[in-house]
Amino acid sequence: MQKYGLIGYPLKHSFSIGYFNEKFSSENINAEYVNFEIPNISDFMEVIEENPNLCGLNVTIPYKEKVISFLDELDKDTIAIGAVNVIKIIREKGKVKLIGYNSDIIGFTQSIQPLLQPHHHKALILGTGGASKAVFHGLKKLGIEGKFVSRTARFGMYTYEELTPEIIKEYTVIVNCTPVGMYPKVDICPNILYEYLTPDHLLYDLLYNPNVTLFMKKGQAKGATTKNGLEMLLLQAFASWEIWQK
C-alpha cells in the first residue's frame, strides 16, 4: 500500500488527512494518508527512512521553508517562492530522491483569478510566512504588484501602522496570509483601515475556519468582494495529487 502524509507541528486542524483518505476510499486507490506531527525539522529524515512506502508529503507550518535544506531538487516556481508544501519521493535502486514543489501558488492563482477586475493592479499581502510568498509570486504571474505588510519594520515592506487611507485606496486587492481571525479567535482581524475600503476592493482570506472571517465581514460591510481560502485549499490538494502521480 502506498503511503502519503503531512508534516508539520501541531497538526490539530489538518484538512489533508480527511480529504485524501476519503479520496482513496471513494476511488478505490490502495493508499493511505497519515499525519506526521514532528516537533522539530531534524526529525524529517526519520519519517522518510521509517516509511519505505511513503511516496509523497505535504508540508505545513512551521516547516515550509525549513524543509528545503533536506531536499535534492526544487521546481522552478518553488525556487522563486522559497517555500515548499509538496514533496515528491522517488525511490530507485535503494536511493531516495526528494523533490520540492509549491501547490499553494497553483491553488491561489486558480482561486483568485476569476475575481480579478481590470482596476486590480496592486495588492497588500498581510503576513510574511511561506504562504504569503506563494501569494506574492501568484499575484505576480497574474500581473499584480504585491507589497508585504509585516508586524515588524522590514526593508521594502509596510508595517500595519504605516498603512494610510491613500495606500488602502491604491492597493485594491488585500490578501490575509496570517492566522489572525482563525477559530477559535473569531472576534479579531488584521489591523488595517477598514473604513477606507470600497466596492472596488477585493479581500481574500487564506483562512476558511470560520467560513466568513471578521476580515471578510468588515470588507463586505463596505461593499468589497470577499473570498475565503477553502477553494484554494481544495485546488492545492488536487495539485498535490497531480504532482505525486506525474
Of 3, 23, 64, 76, the catalytic one is 64
Question: Which distant-in-sequence residues (6+ apart) come within 8 Å of 55 by Cβ?
Answer: 2, 3, 4, 31, 88, 89, 244
Q: C-alpha distances in angstroms, 222 versus 29, 118, 194, 196, 199?
A: 47, 20, 8, 8, 6
Alpha helices, H only, 86-229: 104-112, 130-141, 165-170, 214-221
DSSP class of 11: -
Residue 155, helix vs strand vs coil: coil
Residue 64 catalytic? yes
Residues with a catalytic annotation lie at 64
